[in-house]
Amino acid sequence: MRGLFRSIAMAGALIAGAACAFHALAAQSATFACVVAKGHVCQFAVRTGETQVNFALPAGHKKSVPGVDPRVSVYCVCDPGPVTPDCKDPRVGFWCLGSWAPVLPGVNSGDLGTNNRFAIDALRGTD
């Protein structure tokens, strides 16, 4: 009988811990960075559940957005904008990510490893 109570108590503790971890994960913030040439402005859209947060960032700047759940949030970034519903370039001479990307821990920029040295240097020391 004592083993049954111990098992029930441990299961309750595991469920409570999982619920706390779930809540903490959902309450995270995510950082977004504008990794484009100096003088450009990135237009971001972040979809988290049923809401969408839109904001602009000048080249070389980053912003922390609270309440972003990385398990369900996606984002699009365009230069110069606007962000289109399908995240595709709105017209020739404009750039968009190409598809809605999952929000990841760390910095989300849409820089797909092109090693934009000018933008990476500009991001150092900014908030």
| Three state DSSP letters for the chain | CHHHHHHHHHHHHHHHHHHHHHHHHHCCEEEEECCCCCCCEEEEEEEECCEEEEEEEECCCEEEEECCCCCCCEEEEEECCCCCCCCCCCCCCCEECCCCEECCCCEECCCCCCCCHHHHHHHCCCC
Q: Within a domain: residue 37? A: yes
Asked whether the predicted pLDDT for residue 37 surpasses 50, the reply is yes
Q: Within a domain: residue 8? A: no
Give the domain extent around 43.
29-123
Asked whether the predicted pLDDT for residue 4 surpasses 70, the reply is no
Q: Within a domain: residue 117? A: yes
Gap between the Cα atoms of 77 and 97, Å rounded: 6
Asked whether the predicted pLDDT for residue 11 surpasses 50, the reply is no
Q: Write down the pLDDT at residue 105.
A: 77
Q: Are 106 and 23 in contact (CB under 8 A)?
A: no
Mean of pLDDT values over 13-38: 64
Higher pLDDT, 112 or 100: 100
Q: Within a domain: residue 41? A: yes
- The most confident of the ranges 8-17, 77-86, 105-114 is 77-86
The mean pLDDT of the chain is 74
Count of structural domains, the chain: 1
Sign of CA dihedral 111, 120, 44, 46: positive
Q: Within a domain: residue 101? A: yes
Q: Within a domain: residue 71? A: yes
Q: Within a domain: residue 100? A: yes
Q: Within a domain: residue 23? A: no
Gap between the Cα atoms of 86 and 13, Å rounded: 43
Q: Are 46 and 52 in contact (CB under 8 A)?
A: yes
For residue range 43-92, list pLDDT tens digits in order: 999 998 888 999 999 999 999 998 888 888 999 999 988 999 999 988 88
Backbone angles phi, psi at 16, to 5 degrees: -65, -40
